[in-house]
Structure 1
Amino acid sequence: MPVKAILTDIEGTTSAVSFVFEVLFPFAAKHLPDFVRNHADEPQVAEQLAAVREESGEANADVSRLIEILLGWIAEDRKATPLKALQGMIWAEGYHSGQLKGHVYPDAVEALKRWKQGGYDLYVYSSGSIQAQKLIFGCSVAGDLTPLFSGYFDTTSGPKRDAQSYRTITQAIGRPADEILFLSDVVEELDAAEQAGMQTVGLARDGGELAGHESVVSFAVIDLNRL
């Protein structure tokens, strides 16, 4: 079936992994203690802190202990939904103050704009929270790219290496799975999307191949008409 919609990963796909690990994570780690202390009683923050207590199994953890847990999760790159939500809130402050600008590869910017103009529906699926996704594209080095996207998905749709997550997203998009192209730099994610019936292309920006999937070094060489 011809591709009608494109679902893209962010880290390592549209954006450099180094931006996440060398800019975003350190920024969140640096500002998290003060952010949690200053906002712990606000409903949206309190909700996430309650989720941290539940996920960590420490129902009576106080604010200082919660900060320790969260910093530990950041250090181990744990894909914990409450951590991602809190990081998104911290990054929001950084983006809106101008301290952060989202990295997006120029080839990704050009292709996404061209595909949108060509009538394709564009979506994002990342382990980062939907809020964080909107920030990286909304406050990007290339300006506000959020008008390009029709929807965003994060770990609330399920783990990225689980085929059921892609079935859930397919249902939300409202198109047959084989009309959706998924782009990622991780073989296990591409495998899961393929198991759910999606078409796949792997981004191997440093060369090489993502086994079992067409692999490209840039968005510029993805030919949607050939898929």
Structure 2
Amino acid sequence: MIRVILTDIEGTTSSISFVHDVLFPYAAEHLPEFIREQQDNPEVSRELNLVAEESGTDRDDTEALIGVLQGWIREDRKATPLKALQGMVWEQGYQQGELKGHIYDDAAHYLQQWHDRGLRLYVYSSGSVKAQKLIFGFTTEGDFTPFFSGYFDTRIGGKKEPEAYGNILKELGVDAGTILFLSDVEAELEAAEAVGMKTAWLVRDGELPETERYVARNFAEVDAALLLKR
């Protein structure tokens, strides 16, 4: 019986185009000035220390660190300090009304319904926890953060690594078979299945893959096939 829903964001609850065509360009444009203005902020400074350590860049060379971060953005690198700094920039954009998080209509409907039916909802995304809370807190359909019990990012482990899902299991303290993981990336589903989680592969566009794995176009199909029988 499914008691917990663990969901990805990009391509699952929200469009990939929103992340790549809106959020990433916004961060790339505003990150340099944000770092120059906020580099003495302890939270920002801590992440810059990690950027310097991971890249081998002189910590005192702010412009070089900015260059490293811009390169990571172009590479779509899943670097934890980059995700944290992007989250800070996006927070500023959301609070100033320049950004609104995208959420699919079916995801908006079923996230609320699943919560109301007593399911515990969690997010696991490569974006920082801060970025996750922002995208759900400032959506075009309102604030969805009250429906979630918690959030996980790459600090818990890489999304294609079974160990990360094992760590999530330890955090949640429930049997793996009671968790349903939703994602649009097959390698992530395989990693979750390796520790015993149930999965649903969201394929919102294009041809459906030939696979024995459960595939759905939207959350309505997930609900009808996997949750109404719970």
TM-score by length of 1: 0.97
Q: Which amino acid aligns with 1:217?
A: R
Query: How far apart are the structure 1 equivalents of 2:28 and 2:111?
Result: 31
| Aligned counterparts, 1:1-227, within 5 A | 2-60=1-59, 62-206=61-205, 207-209=207-209, 211-222=211-222, 223=224, 224-226=227-229
Q: Which amino acid aligns with 2:79?
A: A
Q: Which secondary structure does the structure 2 equivalent of 1:202 belong to? A: strand
Query: How far apart are the structure 2 equivalents of 1:104 and 1:210?
Result: 27
Q: Which secondary structure does the structure 2 equivalent of 1:200 belong to? A: strand
Q: Percent identity among equivalent residues?
A: 54
Query: How far apart are the structure 1 equivalents of 2:47 and 2:122?
Result: 25
Q: Which amino acid aligns with 1:89?
A: M
Query: How far apart are the structure 2 equivalents of 1:200 and 1:63?
Result: 43
**Paired residues of 1:186 and 1:210 also in contact (CA < 8 A):** no
Query: How far apart are the structure 2 equivalents of 1:209 and 1:118?
Result: 31
Query: How far apart are the structure 2 equivalents of 1:212 and 1:66?
Result: 45
The runs of 4+ residues in structure 1 deviating greater than 3 Å are none
Q: Deviations over 1:142-176 (max 9, x none)?
A: 10000000000000000000001001101111111
TM-score by length of 2: 0.96
Which structure 2 segments of 5+ residues have no match? none
Q: CA RMSD for the aligned pairs?
A: 1.2
**Paired residues of 1:161 and 1:189 also in contact (CA < 8 A):** yes
Query: How far apart are the structure 1 equivalents of 2:129 and 2:2?
Result: 24
Which structure 1 segments of 5+ residues have no match? none
